[in-house]
Amino acid sequence: MRPFEGIRIIDATHVLAGPFAAYQLGLLGAEVIKLEHPDEPDQSRDSGPDLDLNDASMGSYFLTQGSNKRSLTLDLKQEAGREVMRKLVAQADVLVENYRPGAFAALGFSWEALSALNPRLIYCSISAFGQEGPRGVQTAYDHVIQATSGIMAATGTPEVNPIKFGAPAIDYATGTMGAFALSAALFQRERTGKGQRIDLAMLDVAMMMQASHLTAYLRTGKGARPRGNDHEHATNSAYPTKEGLVMLGASNLRQQRRLWAALGREEMAKRTNRERIADRDREAAMLREIMLTRTAEEWEAFLQARHVPAARVRTLAEALADPHVATRNLVHRFPAGAPGVPGPFGVPVAAFKLAHGGAQVDSPPPVLGADTDAVLGELGYSAAEIATLRTQRVV
């Protein structure tokens, strides 16, 4: 049995962060019903580098977190659509929405209204800046939050900055934090029997992603500087090699002693971190010279064998080709494709393993509205009533 079997989630989210939060619980057994407007579906459906998939409303951004979900199209601006929504909420355990703050409430679906309908409901709102405050009404995407939070200013090199991350890390960190918050609320409900309101902001997540920088700034008044591939400790930085770039990870005093011993330069080892910082320029110059004597791949093997963290800098393609990744079950592959997706593809699963009842993909990402009739039938709608809803473009 997986952790969230028997839990029903209404996923009224779009793009990346919200859908990823619901996806994580879906991987762990929850039933996830994804709500989309029949004429304006989740914008991730037409996003990604495969333009043919985008045209088919099955873009790779949607595929990333679309598995294990049922697709229900619903126009919440029509009263008939809102009535369907109320019936769904009455039977649901969780509602996740990432409308602009206030927009969902304006449709009649505020926390107060829905908790009165279903006191056990976990109601999670994901937004850029939170439901209140001076920025509450503003909207943003991952890269806009990177700019707002200070992350961009601390990323890059001293010569080239600010720079945004190469991946939408804040979106996926927000989705992961959302899954954590939902798990906590569901666990709490098991004890109290009461529902919960979750207010999750991307900006807050971005600040937590800088937690050590934040604490340092509050103590010293000094913000993080863009250092590129260099760390304040030379033995914890990246260097060119005979072929490729190697990232050294001799972070603590014990590891830096091992590194210098492995390189035959025991006299360079330091007793304190203050000494390492004071001698950084000399250490870095020596390491730049030594690292050029082997390839990055050779240095990785040599240093790892001596318990010194080190890695050749890889591309995503190279990382996925690493035999070790295959042992972690990080990817689920659809070798024969799926409805709406001709040809093979793969999607990420979860970043952890459980001894039993772990995350797994049961069904492929659904085409738009694939489960509309089935879900409405389960809510008690007859075939004639469903046909009427279709005629009215409610679904």
Task: Please list the residues that pair with 73 across neighbouring strands.
Answer: 36
Residue ranges of domains in the chain? 8-209+327-391, 234-313
* Residue 302 three-state SS: helix
What pLDDT was estimated at residue 173? 98
pLDDT in tens, 25-35: 999 999 999 99
Confidence of residue 98 (pLDDT cuts 50, 70, 90): very high
What pLDDT was estimated at residue 57? 98
Angle, in degrees to the nearest 10, between helices 142-149 and 169-192: 90
Q: Which CATH number fits domain 234-313: 3.30.1540.10, 3.90.1170.50, 3.90.1150.10, 3.20.20.330?
A: 3.30.1540.10
Write the secondary structure of 62-81 as one string of H (helix), E (strand) and C (coil). Answer: HHHCCCCEEEEECCCCCHHH
Q: How far apart are CA 304 and CA 244, in angstroms?
A: 17
What pLDDT was estimated at residue 266? 98
Contact 242, 292 (CB under 8 A): yes
Angle, in degrees to the nearest 10, between helices 169-192 and 17-27: 50
Confidence of residue 290 (pLDDT cuts 50, 70, 90): very high
What pLDDT was estimated at residue 394? 98
Percent of the chain with pLDDT over 70: 100
What pLDDT was estimated at residue 156? 97
What pLDDT was estimated at residue 352? 96
The mean pLDDT value for 116-141 works out to: 97
pLDDT in tens, 325-379: 999 999 999 999 999 999 999 999 999 999 999 999 999 999 999 999 999 999 9
**10 Å Cβ neighbour count for 267?**
6
Tokens of 261: 């011993």
What pLDDT was estimated at residue 286? 98
What pLDDT was estimated at residue 254? 98
Indicate if 199 belongs to the active site.
Answer: no
What pLDDT was estimated at residue 342? 97
Confidence of residue 189 (pLDDT cuts 50, 70, 90): very high
Confidence of residue 206 (pLDDT cuts 50, 70, 90): very high
Q: Which of 93, 267, 269, 83 is nearest to 188 (CA)?
A: 93
Q: Give the amino acid at 133.
A: G
Confidence of residue 239 (pLDDT cuts 50, 70, 90): very high
Quote the CATH superfamily of domain 8-209+327-391: Crotonobetainyl-coa:carnitine coa-transferase; domain 1 (3.40.50.10540)
Pick the catalytic residue: 171, 199, 362, 371?
A: 171
Spatial CB neighbours of 254, under 8 Å, sequence gap ≥ 6: none
